[in-house]
Amino acid sequence: MIDDFLWRALLGGIGIALVAGPLGSFIIWRRMAYFGDSLAHSALLGVAFGFLFGVDLQFGVLAVCMLLVLMLVALQQQKRLGADTLLVILAYSALSIGLVAVSFMESLRVDLLSYLFGDILAIGPVDLVWIYGGGAVTLALLAAIWRPLLAMTVHEELARAEGVPVAALRFVFMLAIALVIAIAMKIIGILLITSLLIIPAATARRFARTPEQMAALASLIGCLAVGGGLAGSLRFDTPSGPSIVTAAAVLFLLSLVAGGLASIRR
């Protein structure tokens, strides 16, 4: 029995780490960490919706995140308020409405911490289907737009001059982030998802010479963090999300030390 849920958590965590590597790399390159964070926070409203309408929570999160992306794109047509301002208004309104809604639901109130910080006990077989199905869709999406997305990340105007459909790609990329937030929420937790996207990719930066190397290495480092974090979580009975992120932070520190030593030797 114990083995069962542990294997599911490990399998699920690895699935998420594999997707988080390339996606997190792009979030770093495009300086969208803040966007990812805000979007993830708004996912709580999706959890409340999921409960209210009795659908999969992932579906509720995905719906709310996509709605938020659409509203953001629509509101950006006016130029008076900057994108970051709009993001705060939208995301934290969603988070707060979600918290208010949750306070009305007895059963959910008890579970609130597990949605904020992740819970390996919550991972059932259906969640694994979500993680690997959603993860495969996200990776396929990313692979399909990889080259033009990279071109516009390097220099948007140059890419546009070469005929890259910049606005459409930006939208698809935001949807990919929404998808990963939906599938990662249960294991990592709403408040911590962005860190699993960012920290492994940032750790990989030092060792990569090409974008593709960084993305692949980030996936690998993410898997290590998931393995280490879950082992720690089981051993010390700590919440799974923070344990995984702590492991990722330790790996990042080690990479800094390794890089420091390398530069001294040089």
Partner 1 sequence: MTNVNAASLVRVESVSHRFDRDAVLQNVDLAVAPGEIVTLIGPNGAGKSTLVRIVLGLIRPSSGRVTRRPGLVIGYMPQHFHIEDGLPITVRRFLSLARGSGPEALEAALAEVSALHLIDNPFQGLSGGETQRVLLARALVRNPDLMVLDEPVRGVDVNGQLELYDLITRIRSRRGCGILMVSHDLHLVMAATDRVICLNHHVCCAGRPEAVSAHPEYLALFGPATGERLAVYTHSHDHRHDLAGEVVDDPAAGRDRRRSVGSGS
CB of 165 to partner 1, least distance (A): 11
- In angstroms, give the least distance from the CB of 156 to partner 1: 10
Q: Could you tell me the smallest distance in angstroms from the CB atom of residue 41 to partner 1? A: 23
Please identify, using beta-carbon distances, which residue of 97 and 216 lies nearer to partner 1: 216
| Nearest-approach distance from CB 162 to partner 1, in angstroms | 5
Choice between 9 and 23, CB closer to partner 1: 23
Check residue 120 and report its DSSP letter.
G
Q: Nearer Cβ to partner 1, position 109 or 155?
A: 155
Other CB atoms closer than 10 Å to residue 205's CB: what's the count?
16
Distance separating alpha carbons of residues 220 and 14, to the nearest angstrom: 9
Query: CB under 8 Å to 20, separation ≥6 — which residues?
Result: 180, 184, 196, 197, 200, 201, 218, 219, 222
3-state secondary structure of 164: coil
Smaller CB separation from partner 1, 120 or 204: 204
For partner 1, the closer of residues 84 and 162 by Cβ is 162
- Residue numbers at the binding site for partner 1 (CB under 8 A): 28-29, 31, 147, 150-151, 153-155, 157-164, 202, 205, 208-211, 213-214
Residues 6+ apart with CB under 8 A from 215: 21, 22, 25, 201, 204
- Nearest approach in angstroms of CB 173 to partner 1 is 15
* DSSP string for residues in 226-239: HHHHHHHHHHHT--
